[in-house]
Amino acid sequence: MSRFFTTGSDSESESSVSGDELVTKPVGGNYSKPILLSEDEEDTKRVVRSAKDKRFEELTNLIKTIRNAMKIRDVTKCLEEFELLGKAYAKAKSIVDKEGVPRFYVRILADLEDYLNELWEDKEGKKKMNKNNAKALSTLRQKIRKYNRDYETHIANYKQNPEQSDEDEEKKSRDSEGSTSSSSEEEEDEDGVSAAAFLKKKDAGGESRSRYLKKMEAEDDEEEESDEDEDWGSSDSDTDSESDEDEGKYTSLASKFLKKDEDKKGGEKKREEKAKKKHDRKSRRYEEEEEDNEGGEWEKVKGGVPLVKEKPKMFAKGTEINHAVVVKKLNEILQARGKKGTDRAAQIELLQLLVSIANENNLGVALEVKIKFNIIASLYDYNPNLATYMKPEMWQKCLGCIEELLDILFAHPEIFIGENIVEESENLANAEQPLRVRGCILTLVERMDEEFTKIMQNTDPHSQEYVDHLKDEGRVCGIIARLQRYLQEKGTTEELCRVYLRRVLHTYYKFDYRAHRRGAGEPRAGGEEEEGEEEDSAALMERLCKYIYAKDRTDRIRTCAILCHIYHHALHSRWYHARDLMLMSHLQDNIQHADPPVQILYNRTMVQLGICAFREGLIKDAHNALLDIQSSGRAKELLGQGLLLRSLQERNPEQEKVEKRRQVPFHMHVNLELLECVYLVAAMLLEIPYMAAHEFDARRRMISKQFHHQLRVGERQPLLGPPESMREHVVAASKAMKMGDWRTCHRFVVNEKMNGKVWDLFPEADKVRAMLVRKIQEESLRTYLFTYSSVYDSISMEILADMFELDLPTVHSIISKMIINEELMASLDQPTQTVMMHRTEPTAQQNLALQLAEKLGNLVENNERVFDHKQGSYGGYFRDQKDGYRKGDGGYLRRGGYRQQERGSNY
């Protein structure tokens, strides 16, 4: 019988074990032929292990390899083993879900992350690394940080109580031992170790190797390791003695694999004693720490580099405070500027304290100016990120500092400041010589203006906060005006051009109501008379821009000044000044090469030009100026007033941030609905008469694609109700104008809803509405004549004047222009004041015949071309450059021939 199934006496078991042949009885049936096993196979002891032990042993082996690689700083090996560890952990996922994440796995994740952070912060060590290790360090650091996000709570618990790992592992191994056989722990070779014992030993070894834990824990773990080594030695001796007694104790291998209760109880007692010793050591160490704390005021702090550095002391007691000492202290404070961990708010406070110390000791105004320059620069550096804007308290502090600095400069004109002054040549103390301070007040004011723009860009425009911030623009403009006066006395032409441009940029988009009322002849209020005569914005813009045109050497400043000047002219309805300046500057030829902010300013100027032309009644010029912006469908983006959702998908986050920084603040926006309405109404006044004149022309062109698109959208609607949106009002007005009904058209364009949305937004709203009514009447008259000229033999101009409520000279002028331009085939009879129609226009049937003839001509032309490839000739047709192919002997004529013949007979 097999040694696994024998139940006989000791002698039988001895004889079966000593024999060379082992006979097994398989389940399937009896086999007479015995199975021969070699001597090595006889001596091999079978170890039964659970799936948990197998998986955990695989993990611990990989962890051991990683720790060895960490000791020799082999990051490449760490990366390879970490990837294998992740795969092995994924295989053990089912066991982990039941048992929980093992502490030794959490420990290696925490230790590995700490180890990589140490290597990363070691700048010198990174330089000495080879290329592969440096690359592996970067890769592994990213992977471990991403991987550890799923185990943040486990790692945090482990770092709070690292000693708990041994106890947890003991409990887990104790629970798992009930399901495993006794041979997995008791019968092992001198070199072999069970999985549970291996885990305990490994965890203890991990505790002893504590490069990453505290020193106190390291000392305790060394004691632990020595205790456990003794346990291991005793267990080895036990296994030796047990192996000697195996033959006498067990009668079969089956009974040998069953665990005895006594052995189980003995193992539990050992573990309990070990846990008790560990608990005693912890409590003893805690009592020692309490005793130490009683002796003095000690505070337990977390490790790591402190983020906030200690404030440097100003001056020691008894130090003589003079210029050299204060400048030295100023340089010490400035050396920490921009460094990691510097408290920027504390740095600003120190500089302000330094100003007060300098003033108390009467060290002079020049030194105060120098420190003020650095305070303002530190306020700008408070937010290192370009995308962020200044906090309100910092912004108010910045404005106050700049105003104080300007006060000092105006009060002490003997101080010379400039960015070209070298620090060695500064004169801060010697009053006999001119005081010289390094710094540029213009740069600080320009940066202040940019910060104001960023604050307005990042504030909700519909909130009260935006209004509060907008009130600061008065202070900003006042600072720029004061700086302008200061630089007019001491600045260079280049600096004057820069500050003039800042003044222009804060003026060009504002409508001057006082100048408008003076131009209209309205009486001024008493407050305005008391204020005295101030310079008009038009005169101010003229003076500043002309200086820039004459003195500026950079194209960008001159280009911006020209565009702002044109915008200001257009805003105040000076159409011909604005148009002439735009045409003379030739900006439209090379504006595509300018930077994006200048292109946005150009688009805003063109839009304002178009609106100005519309207010003046120049419909064609208005349409041409607005065509490029409106036809693109991206007016919001081109004017710098927001980003389109569809275009956000084409940009990465960095490009999106750059685009947002280019946006125009809300108070400078152009109303997009007003802009679209002006464009559509202008297109309606041009397109409807043209469509009526070329109704049967197959090759007529579209003046405005967007207007035709709106017409098609209106035609596709199954149910036509009263118009609601602005576009629907324009489409309904277009349909009425097409029928010559100017009153209905007028009601759709000018009503309460349209007044509230569009027309009341103009400065002279009544004047614009009167112009609109007149244009609608004139274009409706033209459309009526185009549409119904074939019906009349003659029509009285007086009747037309009554129908469209126009005076007779206007009707006479419109019809005369139509006849001169050959748009209307008619003549005027002066005595009777009638229009005589010449009936040269083809009827509807003739128009259809002409279209059929044209299509047949195209068909014949295509057939002849195909035939030409075979025959080599065009079959009697000759090429006419103007009218295509036509037959020589009175054949068909292309479109236009009929009119030419008739026109030749009439004139």
Q: What is the per-residue pLDDT across 313-342, written as a single tens digit (0 to 9) for each?
A: 567 666 777 888 888 888 888 887 777 777
Residue 271 binned pLDDT confidence (cut-offs 50, 70, 90): confident
- Count the residues in the chain: 907
- Measuring CA to CA, which residue among 125, 122, 120 is closest to residue 138? 120
Q: Is the pLDDT of residue 872 over 50?
A: yes
Which three-class secondary structure state does DSSP give residue 794? Answer: strand
Say if pTM beats, i.e. exceeds, 0.75.
no
Picking from 165, 144, 146, the residue whose alpha carbon sits closest to that of residue 100 is 165
Distance CA 194, CA 53 (A): 8
Least Cα distance to 565 among 515, 509, 513 occurs for: 509
Q: Is 839 helix (H, G, I), strand (E, B) or coil?
A: coil
Contact assessment for residue 668 and residue 508, using Cβ atoms and an 8 Å cutoff: no
Per-residue pLDDT reduced to its tens digit, 396-442:
999 999 999 999 999 888 888 888 888 777 787 777 788 888 888 99
Q: pLDDT tens across 211-251, in order?
A: 444 444 444 444 444 444 444 444 444 444 444 444 444 44
Tracing tokens 């300013």 back to the chain, one arrives at 601
Q: Give 653-678 pLDDT, tens digit per residue.
A: 788 888 888 889 999 999 999 999 99
Mean pLDDT of 611-624: 92
SS3 21: strand
Position with higher pLDDT, 282 vs 109 = 109
User: Which residues have CB under 8 Å from 712's CB, separation 6+?
Assistant: none
State residue 470's pLDDT score: 92
The secondary element (H helix, E strand) that includes residue 374 is: helix 365-380
pLDDT in tens, 307-319: 444 445 567 666 7
907 vs 555: CA distance, rounded Å = 57
Residue 808 CB neighbours (<10 A)? 13
Residue 804 has pLDDT above 70, yes or no: yes
Give the model's confidence band at 604: pLDDT under 50 very low, under 70 low, under 90 confident, else very high: very high
Q: Which of 520-524, 618-622, 789-793 has the highest mean pLDDT?
A: 618-622
Q: Helices 555-571 & 537-551, crossing angle to 10 degrees?
A: 160
**Is the pLDDT reported for residue 31 higher than 70?**
no
| Residues 6 or more apart whose Cβ sits within 8 Å of residue 578 | 566, 567, 569, 570, 609, 612
For strand 794-796 and strand 35-36, is the pairing parallel, antiparallel, or unpaired? unpaired
> What phi and psi, each to the nearest 5 degrees, are found at residue 337?
-65, 125
| Res. 165: pLDDT tops 80 | no
Q: What's the pLDDT tens digit per position in 345-381? A: 888 888 888 888 888 888 888 888 888 998 998 888 8
CA distance 577 to 568: 10
SS3 of residue 306 by DSSP: coil
506 or 533, higher pLDDT: 506
> Which uninterrupted H or E stretch holds 436?
strand 435-438
Q: How far apart are CA 521 and CA 502, in angstroms?
A: 32
Residue with tokens 């195996």: 246
What's phi and psi for 435, nearest 5 deg?
-75, 130
What pLDDT does residue 609 have?
Answer: 94
Mean pLDDT over 113-137 rounds to 86
pLDDT attached to residue 358: 85
At residue 177 the predicted structure's pLDDT band, cuts being 50, 70 and 90, is: very low
User: Alpha-carbon distance 682 to 354, whole Å?
Assistant: 65
Q: What is the pLDDT of residues 815-838, one digit of tens each?
A: 999 889 888 888 888 888 888 888
Beta strands (DSSP E) in 303-364 are: none
Note the pLDDT tens digit of each residue in 73-89. 889 999 999 999 988 98
Contacts for 606 with CB less than 8 Å, ≥ 6 apart? 625, 626, 628, 629
What pLDDT shows up at residue 47?
A: 67
Of the ranges 412-421, 598-607, 846-855, the best mean pLDDT one: 598-607
CB of 416 closer than 8 Å to CB of 437: yes
Residue 902 and residue 846 in contact, taking contact as beta carbons nearer than 8 Å = no
Query: Do 716 and 731 touch, CB atoms closer than 8 A?
Result: no
Please give the Cα distance from 666 to 25 (Å, whole number).
Answer: 93
Confidence at residue 267, expressed as pLDDT on a 0 to 100 scale: 66
Report in angstroms the alpha-carbon separations of 617 from 162, 335, 366, 622: 84, 64, 60, 9
Which residues make beta-bridge pairs with 837?
826
Q: Round to whole Å and give the CA distance between 187 and 184.
A: 6
Q: Cβ–Cβ contacts within 10 Å for residue 593, how many?
A: 8
Residue 232 · residue 201 · CB < 8 Å: yes
